[in-house]
Amino acid sequence: MCAFIATHMPPPPRPAPMIINDKILHFVGFGVLGLLTAWRLGEGQRRITLSLLLGWYLFLVLYGIFDEGTQELVGRSFEWSDWLADCVGGLVGMLVCLACMRYDAKASRRNA
């Protein structure tokens, strides 16, 4: 919710210098969303199917395009490269979480 609010604030009259590239911010923001989504899907040792992952990834992709598209309502601009950074970040976040869950499951089996 905070990210949505931040991306829908009207731009300042005099833009501040960018310390971090805007695409990195998109990538990291959606990376966190992807990680949290996959983590929530795997909660309770539920089996995560490919169709479940793809469905939720599609949701992140659609949310990214909605987020970019509605920024024009407050004077910001739609950028395809921002949306692409959102998509890649969401995917990487989901994959990192899945890799960590797989590693954790293997470590648990070894220690049992």
Token pair of 25 as six digits: 């911010």
The answer to whether residues 101 and 42 touch, using CB atoms and an 8 Å cutoff, is yes
Query: How far is the C-alpha of 99 from the C-alpha of 61, rounded, in Å?
Result: 21
Cα angle 69-61-33, degrees, rounded to a multiple of 5 = 105
Give residue-wise pLDDT tens across range 5-49. 666 667 667 666 777 888 999 999 999 999 999 999 988 767 888
Which amino acid is residue 85, in one-letter code? A
What number is the average pLDDT over the span 78-102? 95
Whether the CB-CB separation of 26 and 76 falls below 8 Å is answered with no
Whole-angstrom distance, CA of residue 27 vs CA of residue 38: 16
Q: What is the pLDDT of residue 40?
A: 93
